[in-house]
Chain A
Amino acid sequence: MSDESATNRTGEGLVSGLPLGALNRYKVPIGSVLLVILLRPLVSMEFLLGYGSVANTILIWMLFAASFNLLLGYTGLLSFGHAMFLGIGAYVTAIGLSRFSSSFVLSAVVALALAGVAAYLIGRITVQKGEIYFAMLTLAFGTTAHFIANYNPAGLTGGTTGIAGGAVPAWIETERGLKYVNLGGFQFDWYWLVAAAVLVGLVVLWQIVRSPFGRTLIAIRENKELARAMGINTYRYKVWAFTLSGVVAAYAGTILEINEQGATLSLLTVETSGDVILMTVLGGANYFFGPVAGAFVWLFAEDYLTDFEMLVLPLKEVPIVSLELAGVLAYWQFFLGLLFVIAVLIAPREGIWGLLRDSIETLYDRLRTGEEDV
């Protein structure tokens, strides 16, 4: 994958002698750790969002988008029904907690198992269809999942209102809208559990991607016929990619369930599946951190731009130009849609993350050559 080759190139260029090989090799886990530690302080800054609670949601969506990218970016399958697995994760956990009063861990394990079975069965009958057919069939299954949740079989899923009451495990305490985890008398902020859980999910995905299994997926994406000629059973690999992706998405769903204190029907809509596609492509399907960046941009823009009222240039204290933007920015999706279309036209697999990497690399190269001249 271009991700790896690009990093090797810049990595070798750095000062040799330091353990940069290891740093380079474990770039993704290190980056994930930095991400989960820095995200909340970053968005809490006064000139950004000014409050940290949205960081939980952003982290969970990052994991969801990264799980989706196992399909789109690594295997080359465009699923229009990925929300189904996020929804299964959230709904099954919520049902376990509220209807059967079981423990969170048990409910979550059942949720992951169910999502895995569903993904395996759906994958078996869909992955070998053409691109358009695969997209439409996953859409159909996603809509079916939405219908079932809305239909409220045996009073389990709660219909249009979803599951709201009693769906939070006992070790979660809520104080003035903020959640705390209370494990054996030891209390800490809910954010850190989300951070740890998302970190685990990202590392699992990274392990999948860099394993022989992940490399085979890339081979299938790049050249299906050649992969088959080399003796790879493309069908089986695709089915398992679909299954693993669904399980990780359901894992994100179980965390989201606590974060939202229940499961809502909107998780299962086509719009949720569409949002994750937009995030992934906008961020850059070619890179592991592409969808993560895409999820951040998307959710950050949602919060930041809808609260944005006036653009004052160059500084708030020195208003030379001030623009009333509240009316326009309420329709932020228009501008992100525009950005998305441009991204697809110029470099459909690069996205924001690819652009960022390119510019940093160019800058670095320029700095280095500048030093050499002196």
Chain B
Amino acid sequence: MNAIPIPGTQRSITPAGGIVWGVLVLLTVMSAIVRPGLFVDQVIGGLVYGLVLVLIALGLSIVLGLLGIVNFAHGALFMLGAYFTFQLMEVWGVSFWVALIVAPLGVGLVGVAIERGVLRHLYDKNPLNGLLATFGIALMLGEATRAIWGGTPRSVVAPQILSMSFDLGVTTVSRIRLFTVAVAVVVIAAVYLLIERTDFGLSVRAGVLDREMAEFLGVNMNVRFISMFVLGAAIAGLGGVLRGAAVGMDVGMANQFIILAFVVVVVGGIGSLFGSVVAGLLIGGASYLTPLYLSTLAEVTTLEFINIPGIGGLVPYLVMIVVLLARPRGLFGQEGFLE
């Protein structure tokens, strides 16, 4: 939704920036040499994780930019995508390929219900109300999921063709991960084309900039609001299908991923889809590579205390704190948006 081009800024690299980049490159090279297999594993793991985050963050960013509502229930929609897959494949015995289409559509329907039932009443209100209402919806969807599918983790059996591994020489990668990457890239490209290259996307962008004026010019904004909300919900659902098929599902995933998706949106800059993609990949990569870098560093320097277990889970928040303190609007945020 980055309609206004950011004026290109020519920057020279500062000494401090140069040192940081140098250290990062050095660590990357070092890790790649010391443990090449693990390095490739972590890079792909970070890519897959980051792209799933991007899929959730896209819908979040669209809803935030268009409707001005911080949708806390978006993580629950992601979780529903995973549980719908379970319902379709394990209970009703439908094939994965059908679930890949049907589950996101089902999540989209839930999205319609949420938009028409609750969010419609909150447009143009204090953004905190939207955050609080969707927080309640997230709680309800979480409890409903627990009631229907139980609190224990579930998993589905991925189809034969995706469960095999792919040999990369130094390590093997399961095909479902590569499939996730491919689907996510296609979806992200499609969303970009829809918003930047179609008349529909043009009218949506017009609505973001000035809703009243767009309506004066005869654009039915309500239809666009609903369809963009459904699109965002369905993309989150699709992310849920892919995640559920790859690593299974549990009731905690809604909270875990919505918070990370918020972090991605905030780091990327609220209102910028491109920023969300970059931030998702950055955070996915950082979460997977930081533990590897630290353990490599600990091994090379024989300083064991550097190797902090579980640091990967904290990295997204550290990245966010640093980015927001250095660039208060995020990496690609627009001026004056929700401030």
Is B158 an interface residue, CB under 8 A from the partner?
Answer: no
Complex contacts, B140 vs chain A, CB 8 Å? 333-334, 337-338, 341
CB contact between A334 and one of B133, B144, B338 (< 8 Å): that residue: B144
Is A78 an interface residue, CB under 8 A from the partner?
Answer: yes
CA distance A337 to B73 in the complex (A): 12
Determine if B325 and A341 form an interchain contact, defined as CB atoms under 8 angstroms apart: no
- List the A residue with the shortest CB-CB distance to B336: A130
Is B288 an interface residue, CB under 8 A from the partner?
Answer: no
Chain B: residues with Cβ within 8 Å of the partner, total of 41
CB contact between A131 and one of B128, B142, B144, B317 (< 8 Å): that residue: B128
Is B292 an interface residue, CB under 8 A from the partner?
Answer: no
Complex contacts, A274 vs chain B, CB 8 Å? 135, 139
Known contacts A132-B270, A139-B259, A338-B136; A147 and B129 CB within 8 A of each other: no
CA distance A333 to B122 in the complex (A): 23
Q: How far is the CB of A301 from chain B (nearest CB, A)?
A: 13
- List the B residue with the shortest CB-CB distance to A338: B140
Determine if B139 and A150 form an interchain contact, defined as CB atoms under 8 angstroms apart: no
Determine if B137 and A337 form an interchain contact, defined as CB atoms under 8 angstroms apart: yes
Determine if B143 and A136 form an interchain contact, defined as CB atoms under 8 angstroms apart: no
CA distance A151 to B128 in the complex (A): 33
Known contacts A132-B266, A136-B262, A151-B310; A337 and B132 CB within 8 A of each other: no
CA distance A341 to B139 in the complex (A): 10
Complex contacts, A337 vs chain B, CB 8 Å? 136-137, 139-140, 143
- List the B residue with the shortest CB-CB distance to A345: B121
Determine if B118 and A130 form an interchain contact, defined as CB atoms under 8 angstroms apart: no
CA distance A150 to B127 in the complex (A): 33
For A114-149 the 0/1 string (1 means CB < 8 A from B) is 000000000001000111110111011101100100
Determine if A344 and B127 form an interchain contact, defined as CB atoms under 8 angstroms apart: no
The size bracket of the interface on A is 35 or more
For B98-131 the 0/1 string (1 means CB < 8 A from A) is 0000000000000000000010011000111101
Complex contacts, B122 vs chain A, CB 8 Å? 345
CA distance A174 to B125 in the complex (A): 52
Q: Of A141, A271, A331, which is in contact with the most chain B CB atoms at under 10 Å from its CB? A: A331
Is A270 an interface residue, CB under 8 A from the partner?
Answer: yes
Determine if B317 and A143 form an interchain contact, defined as CB atoms under 8 angstroms apart: yes
CA distance A278 to B142 in the complex (A): 15
CA distance A281 to B133 in the complex (A): 10
CA distance A313 to B322 in the complex (A): 59
Is A340 an interface residue, CB under 8 A from the partner?
Answer: yes
Complex contacts, A140 vs chain B, CB 8 Å? 263, 317-318, 320-321
- List the A residue with the shortest CB-CB distance to B309: A151
Complex contacts, A344 vs chain B, CB 8 Å? 129, 132-133, 136
Is A29 an interface residue, CB under 8 A from the partner?
Answer: no
Q: How far is the CB of B69 from chain A (nearest CB, A)?
A: 11
CA distance A133 to B266 in the complex (A): 7
Known contacts A334-B143, A337-B140; A144 and B317 CB within 8 A of each other: yes
Q: A130-B339, A143-B317, A151-B309 given. 15 additional CB < 8 A pairs? A: A131-B127, A132-B70, A132-B338, A139-B262, A140-B320, A141-B317, A141-B321, A270-B259, A274-B135, A277-B135, A281-B132, A334-B140, A334-B143, A340-B135, A344-B132
Chain A contacts to B: CB under 8 angstroms: 76, 78, 125, 129-133, 135-137, 139-141, 143-144, 147, 150-151, 270-271, 274, 277-278, 281, 330-331, 333-334, 336-338, 340-341, 344-345, 348
9 tightest Cβ-Cβ pairs between the two chains A and B: A337-B139, A334-B143, A340-B136, A140-B317, A337-B140, A130-B339, A341-B136, A344-B133, A147-B314
Chain B contacts to A: CB under 8 angstroms: 70, 118, 121-122, 126-129, 131-133, 135-137, 139-140, 142-144, 146-147, 255, 259, 262-263, 266, 270, 308-310, 313-314, 317-318, 320-321, 324-325, 328, 338-339
What are 5 of the A-B contact pairs (CB < 8 Å)?
A132-B70, A139-B262, A274-B135, A338-B140, A341-B118
